């Protein structure tokens, strides 16, 4: 899957360089137009420094010209099945920005306690930012934690100021140096089982697998870094055992095959919902949880990926036939 994605991305960059001539419409064309700027005209690149000043912390540039800000909830002590969740496992608020022909699009989600939901929602809406979902991701949390997804379009700095104002109503701590990576899992075994590798964030091993479809929200093509990639996180406990959570990004007819694949491997499906309002194609986000041998769980997650790969392989083959 990852090899096909990078091959597609490389093709898209070539097409983007040739955008002055007509190109037959297709996924690579749309992706190239988005990465180069906009299908509707030139864009002004994001002023990363100004956005960072408005957000009160540094951002990081991601593939697809996406600017990401991590807002980990290191202030929270959240337990699930006797395991304390690390922020990198399931308590990481974030905001992402991408330039458009009319300014910027901002998306993300905020990790919230119950008493933070109403004031944060009010502040986002006062700042012109839409709330697109409020829900849980994991079951049996103590205390209960909710996730508020948001979407805004306009001036990037103005959007950042509104997001910062909402975050300031929570107990989200200020930026701090990241914890040094500590390898406590068989990451090579996990990568082999999944068919793709990840990266360490502290002690949490994080894997992201992009979909191959072109995903559009309000006329803007969303790169995987805008929150539309499968995410699988592994937090070690002891003796090669890990707690896993994350989410699969699915089309409607993939939902139940993936449910059956995960549950067949002892992985609990904890939530199924939407994160966006105007996404094309319509996407469903399936969250999961399990505690067991990390490599065994990776094999179970791979079965979930395999339940989506048939469609992705067909798209890839159809694209080759059109060449």
- Cα separation, 13 vs 28, whole angstroms: 9
- Cα separation, 58 vs 222, whole angstroms: 22
Residue 116, both tokens? 């933070």
The conformation of residue 254, written as its DSSP 8-state character, comes to G
Side-chain-side CA neighbours of residue 226 (13 Å): 27
The pLDDT tens digits along the chain (323 residues) read 444 433 433 333 333 333 232 222 233 333 333 333 334 568 889 999 999 999 999 999 999 999 999 999 999 999 999 999 999 999 999 999 999 988 999 999 999 999 999 999 999 999 999 999 999 999 999 999 999 999 999 999 999 999 999 999 999 999 988 888 999 999 999 999 999 999 999 999 999 999 989 999 988 999 999 999 999 999 999 999 999 999 999 999 999 999 999 999 999 999 999 999 999 999 999 999 999 999 999 999 999 999 996 555 544 544 544 44
Cβ atoms 288, 245 nearer than 8 A: yes
Domain boundaries, the chain: 40-177, 179-323
Report the sign of the C-alpha dihedral through residues 69, 201, 296, 208, in that order.
Answer: positive
Task: Provide the pLDDT for residue 102.
Answer: 87
In this structure, the number of other CB atoms found within 10 A of the CB of residue 292 comes to 17
Closest CA to 94 of 221, 219, 225: 225
Cβ neighbours of residue 220 under 8 Å, at least 6 residues apart? 34, 38, 98, 100, 105
- Cα separation, 71 vs 57, whole angstroms: 9
- Cα separation, 283 vs 277, whole angstroms: 9
- Cα separation, 90 vs 61, whole angstroms: 22
Cβ atoms 239, 260 nearer than 8 A: no
pTM: 0.83
Which residues does residue 150 pair with via DSSP β-bridges, in sequence order?
108, 131
Task: Provide the pLDDT for residue 118.
Answer: 98
Using the structure block, give the residue that is written with the tokens 């067991």. 292
Task: Provide the pLDDT for residue 318.
Answer: 47
Determine the 3-state secondary structure of 59 from DSSP.
Answer: coil
- Cα separation, 57 vs 198, whole angstroms: 25
| DSSP H or E run through 88 | helix 87-90
């Amino acid at each position: 899957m990852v090899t096909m994605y990078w091959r597609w991305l490389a093709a898209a960059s070539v097409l983007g360089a040739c955008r002055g001539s007509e190109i037959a419409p297709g996924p690579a064309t749309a992706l190239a137009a988005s990465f180069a700027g906009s299908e509707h005209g030139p864009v002004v690149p994001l002023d990363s420094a100004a956005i960072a000043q408005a957000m009160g912390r540094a951002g990081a540039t991601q593939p697809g010209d996406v600017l990401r800000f991590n807002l980990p909830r290191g202030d929270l002590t959240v337990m699930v099945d006797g395991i304390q969740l690390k922020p990198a496992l399931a308590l990481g608020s974030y905001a992402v920005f991408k330039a458009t022909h009319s300014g910027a699009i901002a998306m993300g989600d905020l990790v919230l306690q119950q008493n933070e939901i109403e004031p944060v929602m009010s502040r986002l809406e006062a700042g012109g930012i839409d709330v697109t979902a409020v829900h849980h991701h994991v079951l049996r949390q103590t205390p209960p934690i909710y996730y508020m997804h948001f979407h805004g379009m306009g001036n990037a700095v103005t959007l950042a100021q509104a997001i910062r104002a909402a975050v300031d109503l929570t107990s989200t701590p200020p930026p701090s140096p990241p914890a040094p990576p500590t390898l406590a899992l068989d990451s090579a075994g996990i990568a082999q089982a999944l068919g793709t590798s990840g990266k360490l964030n502290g002690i949490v091993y994080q894997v992201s697998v992009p979909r191959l479809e072109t995903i559009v929200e309000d006329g803007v093509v969303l790169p995987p870094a805008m929150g539309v990639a499968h995410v699988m996180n592994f937090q070690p406990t002891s003796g090669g055992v890990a707690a896993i959570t994350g989410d699969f990004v699915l089309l409607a007819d993939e939902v139940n095959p993936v449910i059956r694949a995960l549950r067949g491997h002892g992985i609990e499906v904890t939530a199924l919902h939407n994160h966006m309002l105007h996404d094309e194609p319509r996407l469903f986000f399936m969250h999961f949880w399990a505690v067991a041998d990390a490599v065994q769980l990776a094999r179970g997650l791979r079965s979930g990926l395999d339940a989506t790969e048939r469609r992705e392989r067909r798209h890839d083959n159809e694209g080759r036939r059109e060449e």
